[in-house]
Structure 1
Amino acid sequence: MASSASDSAEHSFSGVEDRLSSSNLSYGRIIAGEGLQVPFSKDEDWADSGDISSFSNYRFHHCDLTRKQALFSDNQQKERLQQSSSDYGLLDNLPCDVAFLPIQTCLGETTKFARISTKLQDIHEARKDKPFQISISLLKLLRNHGSGFKRLTGDGLLEPHAELRKAELSTSETMRIASAKYIQSSSGAGDDLALPDYFSRLSEDKIRNVQLAEILLAAAEKVGCQQFDAASSLLDRCNELCCSTGNPVERIVYCFSEALREKINREMERIGIKGLGKRMTLDVKEDSMSSSLPFIAYHQLVPFSQVQLFSSIQTIVENVAGAKKVHVVDFDIRSGIQWTVLMQALVARRECSLELLKITAISTSSQQVIEDIGKRLETFARLFDVPFSFKIIMLQDMLELKDDLFDLDEEESIVISARFLLRMMIYRLERLESAMKVIKKLNPCVMVVIEVESNHNSPDFTNRFAELLFFCSAYFDCLEECMKGDDVNRTFFESVHFGRGIRTVLAAEGEERTIRNVKIGVWRAFFSRFGMVEVDLGMSSLYQADLIAKKFPCGSSCTLDMNGKCLIIGWKGTPLFSLSAWRFK
């Protein structure tokens, strides 16, 4: 998404709020010039063919989702409604209004899903005398994301999104319809709306999904208002109606229900009330290091990881084109497979021979794992006759990082690799500031940054909930298209890895919320404080992203666009990741 002016003006991560402007980007495939063609050769430890899917034997893990929190009381919500009409607009001008689906539509359904109708009717009746009970922040976010719908035209017809004309709903569209309906039931709006014809053609399963999503929204509203008993009752209903192996809507409702339950437990414990269950652990990174198979499957079947890998390596190659000595400082080496690609690319250069490739891995844990990665890289370097050295800088705390810990050579070109790293230090800003000062002293020729392109750092719980819900809906749509429903790796990735990330964003507090995603506009403002300027990724890097995406059966849904000089990687137009390059002035 394009960043607003307020994004550019933001110079601190403390209390970063959501930017609620709609995207002005036209998402589509980028067609660029010639790019890197990486030759692959057989190696028993790393890869066995020229196909990029040969990276299937190593650990890759996806980004975790985390954030910060603050709650508004009912009185504060009412005051915000009165004070913020210019910002939020009148409820009857919400662009995502659609007609509230009559409960009678579901008559004749199974007993299980008939309970959805009963619960929704109870919610609707409870609001008749309190039409603005729902959090204003949640209304704002739901309205903003319900952009797949338009208001009545002059002919009195509601124009649906193209996808909805097929009488089929993705998870994202299901959440948008549920949000629009929920806004109407909460605000009393909708007298001037008509039920679109396409909606009546939806299957019973699709209608059930919409209603299940409504119950989840109602539970989030109750949690935001600290009405924990009512929220727990709604979550019990969600648990009866969904599971981690159901359809995509059921899967995401399952994950969010678990997160809301954890939120309730923590809040009740905080205010001195006995919790409702056992607190869940939130060590997402440890989980990703201990279970590699789901991440291997993800890397093979979902385009994001490989698009990021090849495009970032191409960017590095272009920025060290004339360097005979290249020193890569990797703050999160993970499997290290990306550096095998770099080796091959540097060896393939005709204009400049490589005298040394040096990699320095920085870590605060898993030293043995990183040592094993170093040995594998050394084996691969010998195979390609690459002069190579590998060093590990182990730290107890990132505050210990100093420039004198590095073995530096005046003749080498330094590259900084920061994949999903910076967000992990936002919760302790002094660590981020300290790391940036060290990076500045190293004065790299390029710093490649990959981050999640979403704002899950709002101090308002309801803002984080809505942003995360639509972000994850797009992600779950992607997993549905790229992986089979009964794939155990997918189930693990969604309910365990992704689920723990969701719980961290919504339930954790203070230093337990160790990862806090913000958008590229906030990172631009932050980097500018240290005298950094954004670097063009280059046409070859963009071509690499497009080329790799096309290798996947679902690649046409992986959308690529530019936000300034930054590559935005998304799913059917929803931004999910940003890839950018930087250097000091």
Structure 2
Amino acid sequence: MENAILSLEGSYSEVEEKSSSANKSSESVDGGKTWKQTPFYCSDGLGPSAGVDFLCSEDEVLYQDERELQDQTLLGYAAFDELKFDGLSPSTQNCQEEITKLGEIVQNGNLDSEYKKGKRSEDLHLASLELLRRFGNGFRHFESGRIVESTYDAPPYTAVESRGFSTEEIMGIAGAKFIQSASQSVDVSSMFDNPFDLSLAGLSHEDAKMVELSEFLLASAEKVSCEQFDSARRLLKHCEECSSDVGNPVERVVYYFSEALRERIEIKSGRVTSNDLKKNQSVHIYDTMKTSKQSFDMDTAMMRPNPAILECQRVMPFCQISHFAGIQAIVENVAEAKRIHIIDLVIRNGAQWAILMQALASRFGCPLELLKITAIGTTSKHLIEDTGRWLKSFAQTMNIPFSFKIVMVSDLLDLKENLLEIDVEEKIAVYSSYLPRKLIAMPNRLDSMMKMIRNINPCIMVVTEVEANHNAPSFVRRFVDLLFYYSAYFDCLDACMERDDPNRMITESMYFGEGIRNSVASEGEERIIRSVKLDVWRAFFARFGMVETDLSSSSLYQAKLIVKKFNFASSFTLDVDGKSLLYGWKGTPLHSLSTWNFT
């Protein structure tokens, strides 16, 4: 089979908007040595008329240093049993202790390279520097095999440069100051009476204001965890007065976390119930003329071609990395198959399958008899049907023999392999992209699904997940993990989109804001938005005899090539973690891509 690269130029959002045409162009990439001869595919505009551009032969496939692709051993293993996928009754613990515990994984480690470089003129206070190191190891910056080296010392967006420190760094400095204040038994009144010392670390006035605001947020979280609600309300009032959903990233992060903490107070104090909040749940919907409110379901919204989400996917590479690198892995595992059966556990808009069709259409010497996609669903059948109709239309334009089947079950416990209509001649692949969040809180249903997958024995299972621990039973530990994760994401949005961009404001309010609200304010079965890290998934999959497989050099190169075509490419980071891929912003992992099969 001849190796081919589909051009990456053009608008990726066109495929998700289901457009009918795209402009084709090729991208040249400087290469040195020859890579292992493995075919890999990229996407053009992915409209129905898009074609394949053969940019290089087998001897010209591009090179990536093998040392950068080696498997890496994890330094810190997140114990699966600590999280247990239940995350029910959280304990109320002192926030100071929990923040300190985050850094206990590494006692003798060096400061992350970004901080060691010392490119900034300001010197961090020793206590703040220590906290940054501990936080850096606690929420685990990338520490494995770097694919794309970041030039993080020179952020490309002037607003970030003028502020001096990233949102994560601001939070780290605030954490150091909070710990210092807590050790000195500083009460709420003293916090109001003693403004932030500008001499600390030579901070600018703007940075000092943001550190102080962040410290008030951390202090309010501690008061909430201890159920000292009157003190928490006083602190939150200050946070709300000084934050904004249209301000800089720190102000936006504080705004949404303050909202979530206030909701938690209302629930814990008995003023409202979780059901009351759920019934009256609303979010801000921004358009060019006004702000309105409407009910919102995140998982349902993700199934529609939402303009705000499409714009974020256009300016940030995360979705494209998971689609292109993940589909590349499937293509390699079904290279000689004539009948291919894809089981999509969460199909959403199905854009990735247009990429697969293009790759299959470019195969030589192995005619495809049938591509069958089975979509699993529990709700919103009409939206899945819409996706199926579009995929059928796209398959026709590519001359791909295609079948689309929907398996609807009211309860995932009812999902059995006989519903999938498996043919013994088919090559089966399973695709899981951000499995429904509620399943982590429903381990019996998650177990049932995994047993079903084991029984059908796919040749490959591709898994994309959020790389974060948002499932810790301890409220304050979960709060800190959430705070740093969203700080990185809000920083990324600030670099890639204007602050008054309505698509950014919708994304932050509807998707990020709802995720923060649910994770902070809710507990038990009401807390449906949960995430665990790749290490936890490894331990979980091992229960079912699943083995992590290497992402090929071609898949890894796909990810690298995608990042290079984006603005601020130097700030997006790709790392090999074990046999999988982590990708994120300025060294903070945000998502993971892994592939699996059964022993």
Q: Calculate the TM-score normalised by the size of structure 2.
A: 0.73
- The structure showing larger relative contact order (alpha-carbon pairs under 8 Å, at least 6 residues apart) is 1
After superposition, where does 1:37-56 map in structure 2 within 5 Å?
Answer: 37=6, 45-50=19-24, 54=45
Change (3 A) 1:341 1:86: closer
What is the CA deviation profile of residues 543-584 of structure 1, one whole-angstrom value per residue up to 9, with x for unaligned ones?
000001111112221101111101011111101111000011
Distance 1:355 1:276 in 2: 51
Q: Which residue of 1 aligns with 2:58?
A: none
What is the CA deviation profile of residues 236-278 of structure 1, one whole-angstrom value per residue up to 9, with x for unaligned ones?
11111111111111111111011111111111128999x9999
Equivalent residue in structure 2 for 1:98, among 102, 125, 130: 125
Change (3 A) 1:271 1:196: closer
After superposition, where does 1:201-350 map in structure 2 within 5 Å?
Answer: 202-269=203-270, 280=281, 283-289=297-303, 292-350=306-364
After superposition, where does 1:69-148 map in structure 2 within 5 Å?
Answer: 70-73=89-92, 98=125, 144-145=134-135
Which amino acid counterpart does residue 320 of structure 2 have in structure 1? Q
Q: Which residue of 2 aligns with 1:564?
A: 578
Equivalent residue in structure 1 for 2:177, among 145, 170, 181: 181
Distance 1:298 1:422 in 2: 21
- Measured after TM superposition, the shift of residue 299 of structure 1 is 1.0
- Measured after TM superposition, the shift of residue 508 of structure 1 is 1.3
- Measured after TM superposition, the shift of residue 169 of structure 1 is 1.2
Equivalent residue in structure 1 for 2:463, among 426, 431, 449: 449
Change (3 A) 1:522 1:331: same
Distance 1:141 1:455 in 2: 19
Q: Kindly indicate whether the alpha-carbon contact (under 8 Å) linking 1:35 and 1:544 is maintained by their aligned counterparts in 2.
A: no
Distance 1:89 1:551 in 2: 36
Change (3 A) 1:47 1:359: farther
What is the CA deviation profile of residues 105-162 of structure 1, one whole-angstrom value per residue up to 9, with x for unaligned ones?
xxxxxxxxxxxxxxxxxxxxxxxxxxxxxxxxxxx998731669xxxxxxxxxxxx96
Which amino acid counterpart does residue 579 of structure 2 have in structure 1? K
Distance 2:317 2:46 in 1: 13
- Measured after TM superposition, the shift of residue 328 of structure 1 is 0.4
Distance 1:147 1:428 in 2: 30
- Measured after TM superposition, the shift of residue 199 of structure 1 is 3.5
Change (3 A) 1:286 1:574: same
Equivalent residue in structure 2 for 1:407, among 418, 421, 435: 421
Instruction: Supply the RMSD in Å over aligned alpha carbons.
Output: 3.8
Q: Which residue of 2 aligns with 1:12?
A: none
Equivalent residue in structure 1 for 2:410, among 396, 400, 419: 396
What SS does the corresponding residue of 2:593 show, helix, strand or coil?
Answer: strand
Q: Kindly indicate whether the alpha-carbon contact (under 8 Å) linking 2:104 and 2:134 is maintained by their aligned counterparts in 1.
A: no
Distance 2:384 2:493 in 1: 29
Distance 1:402 1:342 in 2: 26
Distance 2:217 2:233 in 1: 11
Q: Which residue of 1 aligns with 2:590?
A: 576
Moved more, 349-358 or 541-550: 349-358
Change (3 A) 1:185 1:577: same
Which amino acid counterpart does residue 355 of structure 2 have in structure 1? V
Q: Kindly indicate whether the alpha-carbon contact (under 8 Å) linking 2:9 and 2:45 is maintained by their aligned counterparts in 1.
A: no
Q: Kindly indicate whether the alpha-carbon contact (under 8 Å) linking 2:95 and 2:221 is maintained by their aligned counterparts in 1.
A: no
- Measured after TM superposition, the shift of residue 515 of structure 1 is 3.1
- Measured after TM superposition, the shift of residue 70 of structure 1 is 4.1
Q: Which residue of 2 aligns with 1:60?
A: none
Change (3 A) 1:547 1:199: same
Which amino acid counterpart does residue 262 of structure 1 have in structure 2? E
Q: Which residue of 2 aligns with 1:427?
A: 441
Distance 2:546 2:453 in 1: 11
Change (3 A) 1:288 1:347: closer
Which amino acid counterpart does residue 185 of structure 1 have in structure 2? S
Moved more, 347-356 or 325-334: 347-356
What SS does the corresponding residue of 1:342 show, helix, strand or coil?
Answer: helix
What is the CA deviation profile of residues 33-57 of structure 1, one whole-angstrom value per residue up to 9, with x for unaligned ones?
x874369999974552347684799
Q: Kindly indicate whether the alpha-carbon contact (under 8 Å) linking 1:415 and 1:445 is maintained by their aligned counterparts in 2.
A: yes
Change (3 A) 1:179 1:278: farther
Q: Kindly indicate whether the alpha-carbon contact (under 8 Å) linking 1:359 and 1:389 is maintained by their aligned counterparts in 2.
A: yes
What is the CA deviation profile of residues 252-311 of structure 1, one whole-angstrom value per residue up to 9, with x for unaligned ones?
1111011111111111128999x9999646843244456811101111111111111111
What is the CA deviation profile of residues 293-336 of structure 1, one whole-angstrom value per residue up to 9, with x for unaligned ones?
11011111111111111110111101111111110000111111
Q: Kindly indicate whether the alpha-carbon contact (under 8 Å) linking 1:326 and 1:414 is maintained by their aligned counterparts in 2.
A: yes
Distance 1:142 1:199 in 2: 13
1:486 matches 2:527: no
Q: Calculate the TM-score normalised by the size of structure 1.
A: 0.74
What is the CA deviation profile of residues 53-111 of structure 1, one whole-angstrom value per residue up to 9, with x for unaligned ones?
84799xxxxxxxx994544457x899x89xx9996999xxx99993789xxxxxxxxxx
What is the CA deviation profile of residues 443-470 of structure 1, one whole-angstrom value per residue up to 9, with x for unaligned ones?
1000000011111111000000000100
Count how many residue pairs are aligned between Structure 1 and Structure 2. Answer: 481
Q: Which residue of 2 aligns with 1:5?
A: none
Identity %: 47
After superposition, where does 1:407-556 map in structure 2 within 5 Å?
Answer: 407-421=421-435, 423-556=437-570
Change (3 A) 1:53 1:352: closer
- Measured after TM superposition, the shift of residue 385 of structure 1 is 0.4
Q: Kindly indicate whether the alpha-carbon contact (under 8 Å) linking 2:198 and 2:205 is maintained by their aligned counterparts in 1.
A: no
Q: Kindly indicate whether the alpha-carbon contact (under 8 Å) linking 2:131 and 2:175 is maintained by their aligned counterparts in 1.
A: no
Change (3 A) 1:549 1:40: closer
- Measured after TM superposition, the shift of residue 432 of structure 1 is 0.4
What SS does the corresponding residue of 2:425 show, helix, strand or coil?
Answer: coil
After superposition, where does 1:158-197 map in structure 2 within 5 Å?
Answer: 168-188=164-184
Q: Which residue of 2 aligns with 1:28?
A: none
Distance 2:174 2:414 in 1: 48
What SS does the corresponding residue of 2:448 show, helix, strand or coil?
Answer: helix
Structure 2: segments with no counterpart, 5+ residues: 26-42, 49-84, 116-123, 139-151, 156-160, 186-196, 283-295
Distance 2:279 2:237 in 1: 16
Which amino acid counterpart does residue 218 of structure 2 have in structure 1? L
What SS does the corresponding residue of 1:37 show, helix, strand or coil?
Answer: coil
Change (3 A) 1:178 1:400: same
What SS does the corresponding residue of 1:206 show, helix, strand or coil?
Answer: helix
Q: Kindly indicate whether the alpha-carbon contact (under 8 Å) linking 1:444 and 1:583 is maintained by their aligned counterparts in 2.
A: yes
After superposition, where does 1:348-387 map in structure 2 within 5 Å?
Answer: 348-387=362-401
After superposition, where does 1:9-28 map in structure 2 within 5 Å?
Answer: none
